[in-house]
Amino acid sequence: MRILVIFSLIFLLVSQLAYGKHTKVKKRPEKPFKSFVVVEEKSGKILMSENEKEKRIPASLTKLMLSLLVLEKLEAKEISLTDKVTVSKKAAQMGGSQVFLKEGEVFTVEELMKATLVASGNDAAYALAEKIAGSAENFVQLMNEKAQSLGMKDTIFRSVSGLPVSNSNDTDITTCVDMAILARNLLKYPKILEWTSIKKDTFREGKFLMVNHNKLLSKMDGIVDGLKTGYLKSSGYNIVTTAKKDNFRVILVVMGSPSCRSRDDFVIDLINRVYSEWKLKDIVKKGEVVNKDIILPDGKFRKIKGVVAQTFFYPIRKNNPGIAEKEIRLPEKLSGEVKEGQKLGEILIKMDGEPIGNVDIVSPVYVPKANLFTRIIRRVGLNI
């Protein structure tokens, strides 16, 4: 009997070992990101995120900062879209993603911006940087100064295009939060969406086809409408994109995805989730009358009620909207004439007790001074 038990135990042990040898252990599926953030465009409120302040390599997302500086120069009329740019030897030698510029070729600023943002041309970005700052090194300095002024605290640029610096392992560094700050500032310029929503275009008089790497423009046509992708082996697949439904625009930044497909699928999931869970609420509306009188001792009218200068939107959860509060800050009296549109005070807006913004209260009409006799009578208290 004892021998039978021993043989049974040996058999079970051998069976388990044999089973384990031929059984594959399933690997956990790889996450479709290293870090991400979803931000509402108007308020900058973070709606969803994970590792959003983790420092990562942006790759070609760097070109978004170049784009912001170009757009600022255009607005200031320091350059124009039709300005000619002559390609230098250094620009023509840029590797990676490119539109194969040749030394001495001449293109307009707009042609090179499209090549930078649609085809992600490193050579086009380099040529633009030289045009604006005289050299890529000078332009990088402008990029870092701008990043600091915007509050991109964890960003350091070392290139104009996202490629590692020559003869060095130094790369650009940023975070999802910082890229969202950059995108919010870029979206102030309508031209950025005009350029980055282009799915296909041609370059060099139709001889070179440029295809946008942001496939979400097609996968979510009518919702996703712009910005940029980026990839390096050391960074993984990155994207800064924007989606809009009605008046509700969000910015999505995903970094460190193992593939462009997993990245895009994850972004689609985020977009569907954010629009199913959140909505944009107008806390106060432009033109809304503020129900509090201001005395006008010198005015033709004795009192005036201000109106809200602009609509204040804020994202709220559909299943838990929170409590909005409005604190009206107005003077009791206002001397002199009052101009139409003149600021009278402001509304401090809070959500669940936390300040989220403020909106000006302005005069809806022009109120001239009353005549001298009327003002004197008022001052002696006859209340005319």
Which of these is catalytic: 35, 67, 88, 120?
120
272 and 266 Cβ atoms separated by less than 8 Å: no
* The two structure tokens encoding residue 363: 């005069």
Enumerate the H helices of the chain as residue ranges.
2-22, 63-75, 89-92, 109-117, 122-133, 136-150, 176-186, 190-196, 216-219, 260-277, 372-379
Q: What is the pLDDT of residue 298?
A: 87
- Tell whether the torsion through CA atoms of 27, 31, 32 and 34 is positive or negative: negative
The mean pLDDT value for 255-279 works out to: 98
Which of these is catalytic: 34, 35, 42, 60?
60
Q: What is the pLDDT of residue 289?
A: 97
Q: Is the pLDDT of residue 149 over 60?
A: yes
Q: What is the pLDDT of residue 323?
A: 94
Vertex 214 angle, CA 210 and 217, to 5°: 100
Q: Is the pLDDT of residue 304 over 50?
A: yes
Domain residue spans of the chain = 35-278, 285-379
Q: What is the pLDDT of residue 17?
A: 47
- Residue 23: band (very low, low, confident or very high) from pLDDT cuts 50, 70, 90: very low
- Residue 30: band (very low, low, confident or very high) from pLDDT cuts 50, 70, 90: confident
Which of these is catalytic: 34, 42, 63, 131?
63
Q: Is the pLDDT of residue 335 over 60?
A: yes
Higher local confidence (pLDDT), 373 or 101:
101
- Do 35-278 and 285-379 have matching folds? no
Contacts of residue 49, defined as CB under 8 A and 6 or more positions apart, other chains included, come to 36, 37, 38, 176, 177
DSSP assignment of 159-205 equals -SSSSPPTTS----BB-HHHHHHHHHHHTTSHHHHHHHT-SEEEETT
- Residue 27: band (very low, low, confident or very high) from pLDDT cuts 50, 70, 90: low
**Radius of gyration of the chain measured on its C-alpha atoms:** 30
Q: What is the pTM of this model?
A: 0.86
362 and 344 Cβ atoms separated by less than 8 Å: yes
**Tell me: the pLDDT tens digits for 150-195?**
999 999 999 999 998 765 668 999 999 999 999 999 999 999 999 9
Q: What is the pLDDT of residue 141?
A: 98
Q: So what's the architecture of 35-278 in CATH?
A: 3-Layer(aba) Sandwich (3.40)
Q: What is the pLDDT of residue 31?
A: 92
Q: Is the pLDDT of residue 346 over 90?
A: yes
**Tell me: the pLDDT tens digits for 189-248?**
999 999 999 999 999 988 999 999 999 999 999 999 999 999 999 999 999 999 999 999
Fold of 285-379: Peptidoglycan synthesis regulatory factor (PBP3), Domain 2 (2.60.410)
Q: What is the pLDDT of residue 49?
A: 98
The mean pLDDT value for 267-271 works out to: 98
294 and 331 Cβ atoms separated by less than 8 Å: yes
120 part of the active site: yes
Please tell me the distance from the alpha carbon of residue 96 to that of residue 105, in angstroms, as a whole number: 19
Q: What is the pLDDT of residue 19?
A: 47
Q: What is the pLDDT of residue 373?
A: 66
63 part of the active site: yes
DSSP assignment of 325-377 equals EEEEE--SB--S-B-TT-EEEEEEEEETTEEEEEEEEE-SS-BPBPPHHHHHH
Lowest-confidence pick of 244-258, 267-281, 367-381: 367-381
* The two structure tokens encoding residue 118: 């649609």
